[in-house]
Amino acid sequence: MGRRAKHLTSADRASAKQESLCKHSATPSGKLAHTLANQAQYRSRSTRKDSKHPSIESLSQLALFSGLPPLDMEIQQLANAPLPETRPFFREALRKADALDESDLGRWKTEPPFVKDDDTSNPYSDQYLHFTQSLASVLHSVRLRKQNQRDAKHRTEFETNGKEAAVVALRAEVTDLPSGWERVKALRTHYNAYHNSREYSMYQHYIQWQVRTIYHLYHMKFFE
């Protein structure tokens, strides 16, 4: 007479195997095996991700920051100033490039000093101040759209041209930016918050985006 089968059906065998695995996973050797398996999976996922979007640590080996001066503390503080994300004009202009009339923004997109404002409204009126705020909100959206486009371009360069070539181009771009910051910073006393409220507001706006761009590239925020 043959040996009696311990598990009569495939379902019985599967159930017994699962029970055995559960018991093993509770033992020290089972826990260690589980931990090692998780670590292997994490390394595999990280390797796939890094092959597409290299990390700051891996790029630092290519001397991206070597020889570059540390960022001015003021740049680091201003770069993190919030955007007017709750304002309707900001949200609408960000949604679509032609959602609002941007014809009044031309003079404010360029580096200061600005072309003299030709608005004949009373510069001390609430209407004038409100329009200035709306201009700034729309311009924030315009600059954010441009930043998003540049981010996509930088990511593409790293993916198609390789790390080394992309880092060379990025270093050149980053190196040239601080001189513009120093040049514009020297104009701080050029505009008065009371007598030149619109020019002063747009100057502050330009400064914010200039340092935001420097910080964004210096720390490769386009990979986030």
| CB of 217 closer than 8 Å to CB of 87 | no
Containing H/E element for 155?
helix 126-161
Q: What is the pLDDT of residues 50-74, one digit of tens each?
A: 445 555 555 554 445 556 677 888 8
Distance separating alpha carbons of residues 46 and 54, to the nearest angstrom: 10
Q: What is the pLDDT of residue 37?
A: 56
Mean pLDDT, the chain, integer = 78
Six token digits for residue 184: 């514009």
Query: Is pLDDT at 133 greater than 90 in this prediction?
Result: yes
Q: What is the residue extent of each domain of the chain?
A: 10-52, 56-223
- 187 or 3: which carries more pLDDT confidence? 187
| CB of 81 closer than 8 Å to CB of 208 | yes
- 147 or 44: which carries more pLDDT confidence? 147
Q: What is the pLDDT of residues 93-122, one digit of tens each?
A: 888 777 777 888 889 999 999 988 888 999
Q: What is the pLDDT of residues 30-54, one digit of tens each?
A: 544 554 455 455 444 444 444 455 5
